[in-house]
Structure formats: C-alpha cells, structure tokens
Structure 1
Amino acid sequence: MKVNVTVMLKDGVLDPQGEAVRHALGALGFDGVEGVRQGKLIELDVAEGTDRATVEAMCQKLLANTVIESYRIET
C-alpha cells in the first residue's frame, strides 16, 4: 500500500531554500512569484493493513521535525 507524507516548514519559519528558488525564478524572468515554500514528499510502501496511527508515529519519530515542520498523510 502506498502512503504519501508531505512535510513542510510551519508558517512563520524561515525557508531559505524557498527564498533562493524565488530569487532564482525572478532572475530567470519569471516575474510575479511572491513566495516559495519548499518541502519534501516521502512515498512509503507499507504492508496492507498498516493503520494511520502507525504512519503518524513514523512522522512524529523520524520523518518530520514537528517543532518546525508540519506534515500531511495521504493514502
């Protein structure tokens, strides 16, 4: 079973990678990009029947730094 976990910096946390991408897009002539937030997508291939609570535990313990990041689980 495939599970996608999207991890993003929380609102208010400085995103230097996102800012670098925004600046580079402007330098390439893509005007009008006012903000970029960069995150990561983690695709898990887990055994059938793996419950959401197990995936939540994975996120809490390893996949996301919950102090500065939020995550979204999609099955």
Structure 2
Amino acid sequence: MNFDVEVKISLKKGMLSPEASTIEKALALLDYEVKNTQTLNIIKFTIDAENKEVASEQVDQMCQKLLCNPVIHDYEITISEE
C-alpha cells in the first residue's frame, strides 16, 4: 500500500533559531512587531508499506536517523492513504 507522509520539523523550545531571529528583525524594520517566531521544515513524500503502522514506524526511523536531529528537533508525522 502507498501512504502519503508529511513530516513537520521544528526546533525544540529553548533552542535559538538564527533564521527566526532574522525574520523578526526584518519584520521590525518594516514596522511589524512579531514575537516568538518559529521556523518549520515540512518534508512530504510517498512510502510503500504493508500497513499504516509499518509506515509510521519506518518514517519515525527515518526522522531519527536522517531527517532531523532528535536532540534539538521536535517532529510531527502525518500519514494518510494515497
């Protein structure tokens, strides 16, 4: 079976994000006041697996091994049938 996968990756609370800080500063220069800016990476792909549980386990392993650094990142996995 094919499953559509979406992985949202963000920095854990307390981790400094230079990208988010730059965005806040740039918006301030344009007279917009924003706080607590966060950046988010979204990775989408299709995976072939026996069932949704197997797909979920495989994607979790992908996140732990390659897609993110579990020490500094949080991630959220969404899986749906294609």
Asked if residue 34 in structure 1 is aligned to residue 35 in structure 2, the reply is yes
How many residues in Structure 1 have an aligned counterpart in Structure 2? 74
Unaligned runs of 5+ residues in structure 1 are none
Could you list the structure 1 runs, at least 4 aligned residues long, displaced by more than 4 angstroms after superposition. none
Q: Give me the identity figure in percent.
A: 32
Query: Which structure has the greater CA radius of gyration?
Result: 2
> For the residues of structure 1 that align with 2:74 and 2:13, how far apart are their CA atoms?
9
For the Cα contact (< 8 Å) 2:7–2:42, is it kept in 1? yes
CA shift for structure 1 position 39: 2.1
Query: TM-score, normalised on structure 1?
Result: 0.88
Unaligned runs of 5+ residues in structure 2 are none
Which secondary structure state, in structure 2, belongs to the residue aligned with residue 46 of structure 1?
strand
Q: Residue type matched to 1:60 in 2? A: Q
CA RMSD of aligned residues (A): 1.3
Q: Which residue in the other structure is 1:43 paired with? A: 44
Q: Which residue in the other structure is 2:58 paired with? A: 54
More strand by share: 2
> For the residues of structure 2 that align with 1:3 and 1:43, how far apart are their CA atoms?
6
Q: Residue type matched to 1:42 in 2? A: I
